Amino acid sequence: MGSSPLQFVPHRRFNPLTEEWVLVSPHRAQRPWLGKVEEDGAAEPPAYDPACYLCPGNERAAGVRNPQYESTFIFENDFPALLPDAPTIDVDESNLIVARSEPGICRVVCFSPRHDLTIARMNPKEVCRVVECWARETSALAAVPWINYVQIFENRGALMGASNPHPHCQIWATATVPDVPAKESLSFAKYRNGKKSCLLCDYLRLELKRGERVVCENESFAVVVPYWATWPFETLLLSKRHLQDLTQLSASERDQLAEILHRIVRRYDDLFQAPFPYSMGFHQRPADQQPHEEWHLHAHYFPPLLRSATVRKFMVGFELLGTPQRDLTPESAAARLREAGEAHDRDQ
């Protein structure tokens, strides 16, 4: 944070996207660590795993067999969290016991036929095929009359709940807009009505001008550690052009998005000298056939690692019961990610 007095003082930072606060305690970064340290010890995965239900030609649940796919591969989730034919149920007892059924569509996208690859180890051309797939799926699912939101997300690593190391992500299309993008939608609209401009366009201009929280950028995208970051090495990926969703990307912007995705994950891996666990997801405008000019396409990375590949940080204690809190400042996290390289010790 340079000479800012905030680097020594506990303070709160406001998140304009969700209109919530995060408590920052920079003075705690020097405290001794006596927590549990775990050895990873994970073996290098093979290029093909006969026991993997996502590898080409292998059998999935209920006897479904994957084709011998050679690029991206999409299928309906065998164990979906949402069902398209969920019966209509509406429970409301005095506005205290309230429930409504939620139909939806859940799909899985395998990034590559290679079991041992990640976004960091795929080349940008391969990652671009994934981006193109995301755009196609967004368009197709948004066209379903009762779908109102398309959420693309990737959980990488067992630490983040990934049940299979094969490179893949999920797409959940829902009848209602989930809570976090719904909050962002309200904030975008409120800001546009008051300022007559875009919240994230204005924010990105500030970050690019200051530079201290910018991790990397190219012609079309920038990755920053947001001023209000909660997770230790949380980043925010922003389009430089005002776009509402992935379907609006030009061909060159798809290439640029693939490149920046490739670069930020390599930085994560380089910083911690290990395959880096994270949850990543794109936020884009609701799929209700409205223009939503106030919306700005972006992606969030939420990684749990704190000091090393074995020291982790989750929401506990005060964070669960009061307000999210962090010791590592966004400025320090951005500096460490900038210093990390983009070469990868396990390149193909």
Task: Rounding to the nearest 10 degrees, give the CA dihedral for residues 267, 268, 269, 270.
Answer: 50
Structure tokens at 261: 């995705």
Q: Which amino acid is at 277?
A: P
Find out whether 199 and 188 touch, Cβ atoms under 8 Å: yes
Burial class (CB in 10 A: 0-12, 13-18, 19+), 184: buried
- Tokens 């007892």 belong to 93
Euclidean distance between CA atoms 122 and 257, whole angstroms: 14
Q: Could you write out the three-class secondary structure of 101-140?
A: CCCEEEEEEECCCCCCCCCCCCCHHHHHHHHHHHHHHHHH
Residue 236 near residue 243, CB atoms below 8 Å: no
**Closest-CA residue to 265 (of 257, 151, 78):** 257
Q: Which member of 115, 166, 168, 296 is catalytic?
A: 168
Matching residue, tokens 């190391």:
165
The verdict on whether 242 is a catalytic residue reads no
148: nearest Cα among 24, 290, 253, 49:
290
Helix axes 251-272, 330-339, angle to 10 degrees: 100
- What angle do the packed helices 179-195 and 199-210 form, to 10 degrees? 80
Cβ–Cβ < 8 Å for 91, 97: yes
Contact (CB, 8 A) for 173 and 145: no
- Whether the CB-CB separation of 225 and 333 falls below 8 Å is answered with yes
The residues annotated with a catalytic role in the active site are 168
